[in-house]
């Protein structure tokens, strides 16, 4: 067999599942090797048999073949590791440690003395083998940086281990910085810790196995998610295809109904025209006869004919109502309501709703002129924090500044349409975010109520409110970014968990009559427990 240095490379002998040296290695049909237990456990946790490396799937569970060559190499490697592990002292390459005594050509050190803090070659080590007082020194395999083992305070060897501070100390440290501490010799601590190696190794292997099982579980979830996603896409495409076909059929029906309506109106109109033209012709004839009669000198004939010609048969004008006056408007109204309903259904899908709200995103910056005196605004105007060490007289007062509570407004205001912004609230336990009317009270302790012009979302240690009047509710999901969507014309303010895309609060029936300003209140930092900033975050662009 080739030498261990050439063949026994640890990377070649690691199972890709447990990441440890092979135990009972087996091969599968694609040529990859695994521990027998690892591959069986991996397959037991899945619905299909798949190679963890190349992802090749097998219709039936492959028959595992023992790989004797890999098995022999793994056993040889483990023996080599055991031999190295049994060698006392640090396993650093000797070639890296040179004799500290050699003056010209440095020889390789064969031993390092912890008492002398010196590394010796074979010839310079001779006194330690011969002189009685030197034989008691502690020798070990050559190591570098022996000075690191010296106490930096007392310049003595660190021969003790402080159990309280978990630090290497010398005997003088026990009388100074570590006075009264429980300290033991390094050898004793080594034996104590070494005795726990097997337990630690077992725990690590247990953690590895747990992670392997979790990997298999996550992979299974991802596989199921992929299948479910494909099914959902196919079902969605099918529904939309049928919906499009239905809409196209409905369009054809509506067009046909409009054409039939027009055809009926046209036919009725043409009948009206025919009748009216006939009556006009008849009336013109009477008019002509009357004109001719007026020239007659036969009094008898004139009187006899005039009564007949001057009074045509009494007949009302034909009805010109050709159809419903609002037929077009009615049809358009029905179709508009249909479109609105489709839009409402589409917005019930969180991703679609979030995408459409983000189309109304606005770029905001905080207005320092409105900030409470103890609030600190970042240079870019996107972050606000509360500081305890700011005095009120350090800030110039002005009519726009809040002089009670930790409040600040954005520079931008809105009087119509829709707008949306997002605020990072991660790490905070108390805060308020929303919108306020321009005339909101700045100089008195006005409650953040709807009556006072505050439309806000308040969080206080896991409980939230959408107004000062509402009852606090427990927030059942983690909230790191808050989305605020305002429909000024509709009179509605909605609050969203950006990460889960769920709506967690809504204020409806509002009647906005003034300019609205985004509002932020980080609340006091409470000795650092609420020190995280409120951050206006960029809204991802939608396409």
Strand, coil or helix: 369: helix
- Compute the average pLDDT of residues 503-527: 93
Interatomic CA distance for residues 469 and 289, integer angstroms: 89
Lowest mean pLDDT among 217-226, 494-503, 511-520: 217-226
Strand, coil or helix: 111: strand
Interatomic CA distance for residues 474 and 459, integer angstroms: 9
Q: Which residue has the higher pLDDT, 5 or 188?
A: 188
pLDDT band, residue 315 (cuts 50/70/90): low
Q: Which residue has the higher pLDDT, 458 or 144?
A: 458
pLDDT tens per residue, range 41-60? 888 877 788 888 788 888 88
Residue that has been written with the tokens 């919108």 in this structure: 435
Lowest mean pLDDT among 49-53, 166-170, 361-365: 49-53
- Compute the average pLDDT of residues 346-369: 90
Is pLDDT above 80 for 450? yes
Strand, coil or helix: 364: coil
pLDDT band, residue 467 (cuts 50/70/90): confident
pLDDT band, residue 78 (cuts 50/70/90): low
Strand, coil or helix: 234: helix
Alpha-carbon distances of 537 from 140, 364, 457, 485, 498, rounded to whole Å: 60, 9, 17, 14, 11
The DSSP secondary-structure symbol of 21 reads B
Strand runs labelled E in 343-491:
375-377, 383-386, 408-409, 418-424, 430-437, 454-460, 463-465, 473-474, 481-487
pLDDT band, residue 94 (cuts 50/70/90): very low
Is pLDDT above 50 for 445? yes
pTM value is: 0.51
pLDDT band, residue 494 (cuts 50/70/90): very high
Lowest mean pLDDT among 72-81, 116-125, 137-146: 72-81
pLDDT tens per residue, range 173-190? 888 888 888 888 888 888
pLDDT band, residue 313 (cuts 50/70/90): low
- Compute the average pLDDT of residues 258-266: 83
Q: What is the crossing angle of helices 197-293 and 327-346, to 10°?
A: 180
């Amino acid at each position: 067999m080739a030498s261990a240095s050439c063949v026994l490379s640890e990377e070649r002998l690691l199972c890709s599942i447990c990441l440890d040296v092979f135990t009972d290695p087996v091969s599968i049909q694609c040529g990859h090797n695994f521990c027998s237990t690892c591959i069986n456990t991996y397959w037991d946790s899945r619905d299909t048999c798949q190679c963890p490396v190349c992802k090749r799937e097998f219709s039936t569970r492959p028959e595992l073949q023992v790989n004797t060559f890999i098995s022999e190499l793994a056993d040889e490697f483990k023996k080599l590791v055991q031999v190295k592990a049994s060698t006392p002292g640090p396993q650093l390459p000797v070639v890296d440690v040179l004799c500290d005594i050699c003056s010209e050509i440095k020889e390789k050190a064969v031993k390092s003395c912890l008492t002398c803090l010196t590394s010796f070659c074979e010839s310079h080590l001779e006194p330690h083998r011969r002189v009685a007082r030197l034989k008691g020194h502690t020798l070990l395999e050559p190591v570098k940086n022996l000075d690191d083992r010296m106490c930096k305070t007392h310049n003595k060897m660190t021969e003790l281990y402080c159990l309280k501070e978990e630090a290497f100390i010398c005997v003088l440290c026990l009388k100074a910085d570590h006075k009264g501490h429980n300290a033991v010799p390094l050898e004793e601590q080594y034996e104590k810790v070494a005795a726990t190696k097997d337990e630690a190794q077992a725990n690590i292997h247990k953690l590895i196995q747990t992670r392997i099982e979790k990997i298999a579980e996550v992979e299974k979830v991802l596989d199921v998610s992929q299948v479910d996603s494909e099914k959902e896409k196919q079902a969605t495409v099918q529904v939309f295809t049928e919906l499009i076909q239905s809409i196209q059929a409905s369009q054809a029906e509506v067009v046909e109904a409009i054409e039939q309506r027009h055809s009926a109106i046209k036919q009725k109109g043409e009948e009206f025209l025919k009748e009216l033209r006939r009556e006009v012709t008849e009336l013109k004839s009477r008019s002509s006869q009357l004109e001719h009669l007026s020239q007659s000198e036969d009094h008898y004939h004139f009187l006899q004919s005039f009564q007949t010609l001057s009074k045509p048969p009494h007949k009302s004008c034909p009805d010109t109502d050709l159809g419903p006056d609002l037929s077009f408007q009615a049809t358009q109204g029905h179709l508009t309501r249909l479109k609105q309903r489709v839009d409402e259904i589409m917005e019930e899908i969180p991703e679609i709703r979030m995408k459409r709200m983000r189309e109304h995103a606005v770029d905001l910056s905080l207005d320092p002129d409105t900030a409470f005196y103890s609030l600190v605004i970042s240079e870019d105007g996107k972050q606000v924090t509360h500081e305890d060490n700011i005095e009120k007289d350090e800030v110039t007062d002005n009519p726009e500044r809040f002089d009670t509570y930790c409040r600040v407004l954005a520079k931008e205001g809105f009087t119509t349409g829709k707008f949306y912004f997002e605020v990072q609230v991660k790490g905070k336990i108390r805060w308020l975010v929303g919108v306020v009317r321009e005339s909101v009270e700045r100089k008195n302790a006005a409650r953040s109520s709807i009556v006072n012009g505050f439309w806000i979302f308040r969080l206080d240690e896991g409980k939230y409110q959408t107004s000062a009047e509402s009852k606090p509710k427990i927030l059942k999901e983690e909230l790191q970014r808050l989305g605020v969507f305002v429909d000024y014309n509709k009179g509605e303010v909605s609050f969203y968990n950006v990460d889960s895309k769920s709506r967690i609060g809504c204020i409806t029936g509002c009647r906005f009559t003034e300019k609205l300003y985004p509002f932020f209140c980080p609340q006091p930092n409470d000795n650092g427990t609420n020190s995280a900033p409120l951050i206006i975050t960029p809204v991802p662009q939608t396409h």
